[in-house]
Structure 1
């Protein structure tokens, strides 16, 4: 864990569990069929390098607990704009479900944040993923959030399309991650 990021102190986020992704004040859901098996998809999600290739805001991912991931595993994600988040995993069932929440966040405007990825095996090397992002905005962000709903949902769908594009790329097919 870190208590500062650059000059900005990190905010301790509310502790939430898996039910939060269903009950959070703001939830965004994206779904897609991806051209890899569920197990292969989890290989991609475990790779710190792969995240940077499909999530434009991510600069670096560092696992801060031993691999392979499991419930309770931790990592730090550095994002553009000098923002950083410490995460703890609430679910990690290879081929089925991955979920995490922020424990600390160097940005402002949220008191709780979690993501939940549910995966179904469609056979023939394909997976269906349902990705839910859940958050509780606070302060000025809480007032602006109703106006940002459309942009947030669109951004989530765009990011999932980026993942599909990456999984179809020559780089992925050649290098494997």
Structure 2
């Protein structure tokens, strides 16, 4: 008989959590695509694992159109699953979501915000990931901060490579 996955509630934080969270990671990347093309990528469930290598699967769980309240489930390496709710969906300038539940008790609160501005060569994405944790993770988070930030910067490098390939000749 398969094991039933237990999901644990997370704090229902708002968009402002990305500015006030105990652990924040903000990084930017210049992309050679339009803001509209970037939102095409962000709306594509199959694209996420191609650039954010920690993600193995994304499933939208509410029907179109995307908007505030839209939900999806994201499965990550290591067995972490997050039930996400969008706090903002404002193509082509901004989107934000939070975890409503996670497959681990370690995550107290989690949110991300994607801010997009047009540039002469395409657009600039600033991605802010914010979280709070409990238990032993509270001790490890400060020590792991530089490594985690390097991983997140690498995801943005991967996103640039992915969008360059996806929209080549567009």
Instruction: Give CA deviations for 1:116-139 in whole Å, capped at 9, x if unaligned.
Output: 000001144x01011000000110
Answer yes or no: is the 8 Å Cα contact 1:38–1:120 preserved in 2.
yes
Which residue does the alignment assign to 1:151?
A: 147
CA drift at 1:81: 2.0
- SS of 1:48's partner is coil
State which of 106, 127, 144 in structure 1 corresponds to 2:103. 106
TM-score, normalising length from structure 2?
A: 0.94
- Report the Cα offset of residue 7 of structure 1: 4.2
Partner of 1:173: 167
Give secondary structure in 1 for the equivalent of 2:167.
Answer: helix
Matches within 5 A, 1:110-125: 110-124=107-121
Cα distance, 1:173 vs structure 2 = 3.1
What is the CA RMSD across the aligned residues, in angstroms? 1.8
Give the match for residue 78 of structure 2: 81
Report the alpha carbon displacement of residue 58 of structure 1 after superposing the two structures with TM.
Answer: 1.1
Mapped partners of 1:155, 1:6: distance in 2: 31
Aligned residues: 169
Q: In structure 2, the residue corresponding to 1:9 is in which secondary structure? A: coil
Contact 2:33 2:167 in 1 (8 A): no
Question: Paired residue for 1:97?
Answer: 94
What TM-score, normalized to structure 1?
Answer: 0.90
| 1:141 and 2:122 matched | no
Unmatched runs of 5 consecutive residues or more in structure 1: none
What 5-or-longer segments of structure 2 have no aligned partner?
Answer: none
Distance 2:56 2:27 in 1: 22
Contact 1:37 1:123 in 2 (8 A): no
For the residues of structure 2 that align with 1:66 and 1:92, how far apart are their CA atoms?
A: 14
Matched, 1:131 2:127: yes
Q: Separation in 1 of the partners of 2:153 and 2:3? A: 31
